[in-house]
Amino acid sequence: MPGTGIHTTGPPGQWNPPPSRPVRTYQLWHDLFMAEHEPDEPGVLRKLKPLVMLIPAHAVVTALAWRDLRGRSPEQLRGSKRFWRVVSGANTLGSLLYFTLGRKRAKS
């Protein structure tokens, strides 16, 4: 019955929880690391390829952001150096935010 919290998939008069929907992240994690796969299986390698490519890209962008932070004075930044180190190290988007929003533009 809609709106009552009672689902009619089971015996009458018994409360049945709604059917759970699969979570894609969990399935991907399970498929990659928990399920038994052969290391040379193409499906596993195909799923790992984006992750393998993103990790070095994140490391490079973060290193560039931290190098730029080290060479700037606090007056040239919007916010503290500590804040931008934490934000840029957390994920790649944080490093990109530092380059777009964290630095003050030089006056010409």
User: What gap in Å lies between CA 26 and CA 7, rounded to an integer?
Assistant: 26
| Residue 70 resides in a domain | yes
Q: What is the mean pLDDT of residues 42-63?
A: 83
Q: What is the mean pLDDT of residues 93-97?
A: 93
Q: Is the pLDDT of residue 74 over 80?
A: yes
| Residue 55 resides in a domain | yes
| Residue 68 resides in a domain | yes
User: What gap in Å lies between CA 41 and CA 55, rounded to an integer?
Assistant: 22
Q: What is the mean pLDDT of residues 97-103?
A: 93
| Residue 3 resides in a domain | no
| Residue 13 resides in a domain | no
Give me the percent of the chain exceeding a pLDDT of 70.
57
Q: Is the pLDDT of residue 14 over 70?
A: no
Q: Is the pLDDT of residue 103 over 60?
A: yes
Per the CB < 8 A criterion, the answer to whether 30 and 21 are in contact is no
Give me the percent of the chain exceeding a pLDDT of 90.
43
- The mean of the pLDDT values for the chain is 77
Q: Is the pLDDT of residue 21 over 80?
A: no
| Residue 52 resides in a domain | yes
Provide DSSP, 77-100: BSS-HHHHHHHHHH-HHHHHHIII
Provide DSSP, 41-60: -HHHHHHHHHHHHHHHHHHH
Q: What is the CA radius of gyration of the chain?
A: 24
Give pTM, 2 decimals: 0.56
pLDDT given at position 8 = 53
The residue segments making up the domain with residue 77 are: 24-102
| Residue 1 resides in a domain | no
What letters, b where the CB count within 10 A reaches 16 and e where it falls short, cover 64-75? ebbebbeeeeee
| Residue 63 resides in a domain | yes
Any idea which residue has 């964290």 for tokens?
A: 102
**Total number of domains in the chain:** 1
